[in-house]
Amino acid sequence: MRSIINILDLTKEEIDQLIQVAEDIIAHPQNYLEKCKHKKLATLFYEPSTRTRLSFEAAMYELGGHVIGFSEANSSSAAKGESVADTAKTISCYADIIAMRHPKEGAPMVAAANATIPVINGGDGGHNHPTQTLADLLTIHREKGTFEGLTVGLCGDLKFGRTVHSLITAMARYDNVRFVLISPEELKVPSYVKMPLKQKGISYIQTTDIESVIADLDILYMTRVQKERFFNEDDYIRLKDSYILTPQKLAKAKDTLSIMHPLPRVNEIALAIDDDPRAAYFKQVLNGKYMRMALIMMLLEVK
């Protein structure tokens, strides 16, 4: 029994396998309709979600399985004071696999330590979001055909953005990847995420100015300023519109750029860009469902 809390819980070889399975699902969805027949996924979401929870649920339904769960802490016994550990033990009696999102960093790890079924981290506070990274990796692979040698720009809230932390950690394992980290001074990537880059001698630069670097990028990963992680509303209001990608700003970008965003978008990408052939953010959404299908099958040891 195995859980996925951090993207590093999967080897590069396993990520390749998940991509292969996802590609096969895309090509032959009819072969997967009964793979998880009689299996149950529990979605335990203590924080708002549209894509992550519903794509896990859609993934399980498309594998022929069932879904139980809750979408807010207030409708579960957490509101009565139940611990994550006790909830995890309880859900282990009802389901075969758990997908969990929680505002506290480390909560899915506590759940995994107490559950007797696999736990998948669907986002823990400002920490990690490994299944968004699986969606991102399939998207990059489909857009670019490789992970190696890419210049990856990440822009916005790099401090609290958990998708950013997991994606940097994942991409740092591939050869000759360069990172361009674009954020306001206050929202720079935390040192625990940068440390492995320094240790492995991986190239990265930090800047506040997107226009000065946009021409170099193969991937531009835009992110929302994470309102719910701020202590002070004034800081959020001051920083929230730091970067708004517009067609004018894209003028110097490569024709082969892929524009990504984990969504939800608030104001970071002008609607006019949705029709640009470089926009990949709605493809990312669909890719997330296929990678979650592949991951559920892997953890349930379905052939």
In the complex, the residues that contact ligand NCD under the rule CB under 6 A are 51-52, 123, 129, 132, 162-163, 223-224, 262-264
Q: Which of 129, 162, 224, 261 is catalytic?
A: 129
**C-alpha distances out from residue 264 to 48, 172, 190, 281, 282, Å:** 11, 25, 22, 10, 11
Cβ distance to ligand NCD smaller for residue 123 or 153: 123
Q: Which is nearer to ligand NCD, 69 or 92 (CB)?
A: 69
Given the residues 101, 102, 194, 224, select the one marked as catalytic. 101
52 flagged as catalytic: yes
Asked whether the beta carbons of 69 and 14 are under 8 A apart, the reply is: no
- By beta-carbon proximity to ligand NCD, the closer residue of 254 and 265 is 265
- Least gap, CB of 201 to ligand NCD (angstroms): 29
Minimum distance from CB of 274 to ligand NCD (Å)?
17
Instruction: Report the residue closest to ligand NCD, judged by CB.
Output: 262
Beta strands in the chain (DSSP E): 40-45, 66-70, 97-102, 119-124, 151-155, 178-182, 204-207, 219-222, 258-260
Find, among 94, 117, 99, 119, the residue nearest to 109 by Cα.
119
Nearer to ligand NCD, 40 or 53 (CB): 53
Nearer to ligand NCD, 91 or 263 (CB): 263
101: annotated active-site residue: yes
- Residues 6+ positions from 31 with CB-CB distance below 8 Å: 24, 25
How near is the Cβ of 70 to ligand NCD at its closest, in Å? 17
Beta bridge partners of 279: 259
Are 220 and 214 in contact by the 8 Å Cβ rule? The answer is yes
| Shortest CB 72 distance to ligand NCD, Å | 14
Known active-site residue 51: yes
Distance CA 300, CA 33 (A): 15
Place of tokens 């924080």: 47
Catalytic entry in 43, 52, 133, 139: 52
> Any catalytic annotation for residue 146?
no
Instruction: Using the structure block, give the residue that is written with the tokens 């469902």.
Output: 289
Report in angstroms how near the CB of residue 155 gets to ligand NCD at its nearest. 13
H-helix or E-strand spanning residue 132? helix 130-144
> Which are the catalytic amino acids?
51-52, 80, 101, 129
